[in-house]
Amino acid sequence: MIQDADRGHEAAENEGPEPRILPMAAPRATLLRDVLESIIEAVPAGDASPAGRVRVTLDVPAAQVVDVDPDMFRSVVEGLVRAAFSAAVRPVVAGAPIAVREVVVTSIDAADALELEIADSGSGPPDAAALAAARAAILGLGGDVTVTQCPEGGTAVTLRLSRRAVRRKAA
């Protein structure tokens, strides 16, 4: 007879050395697009002014999930999205008009990993604090973070979460 861990200690003593099945926490799958939409909606208008509004392109499938702690993931991504908004309104040269103010967030779901890219059309290096927080959190999950300068201007930060590494952390 298999014993459920929710049953009392007395029952275990009376039933003998049967295996116990312990309850496990449900997987923490988070809908990626929902998290991103709520972050983008929460960026105050002040982050995009006085230079003007920022055009946002969100290219993330509605059913795509990420299997990590939702609060930690939101914190990391929110810092990067806010930094992208700030960079998108920063002129290349002080006082010069900005031709394009844009933030593009896209994801690719491969068999072995999920990649999330947050790109901006701004100038200058990415926000060092947001990048350091993202790198520490993603590396802790067995993932990787890369930063590249976009050929048309701006910066792209790519978070790569290995599906195998996330599953190993759960074991």
b (16+ CB within 10 A) / e for 138-170: beebbbbbeeeeeeeebbbbbbbbbbebbeeee
Predicted local distance difference test score (pLDDT) of residue 50: 44
Query: Which are the contacts of 162, defined by CB distance < 8 A and separation ≥ 6?
Result: 112, 113, 142, 143, 144
Predicted local distance difference test score (pLDDT) of residue 83: 92
**81 close to 126: Cβ distance less than 8 angstroms:** no
Predicted local distance difference test score (pLDDT) of residue 157: 97
The pair of structure tokens assigned to 18 is: 């049967």
**120 close to 88: Cβ distance less than 8 angstroms:** yes
pLDDT per residue rounded down to tens, the chain (171 residues):
444 444 454 544 555 678 888 776 655 688 999 999 999 998 875 554 444 578 899 999 999 998 888 888 999 999 999 999 888 887 666 666 666 789 999 999 988 999 999 999 887 788 899 999 999 999 988 899 999 998 888 899 999 998 865 454 544
**CA distances from residue 166 to 26, 62, 105 in whole angstroms, order as listed:** 15, 21, 22
Domains, the chain, with CATH or none:
26-170 (3.30.565.10)
Single pTM value for the model: 0.76
Say how far apart CA 99 and CA 122 lie, in whole Å. 10
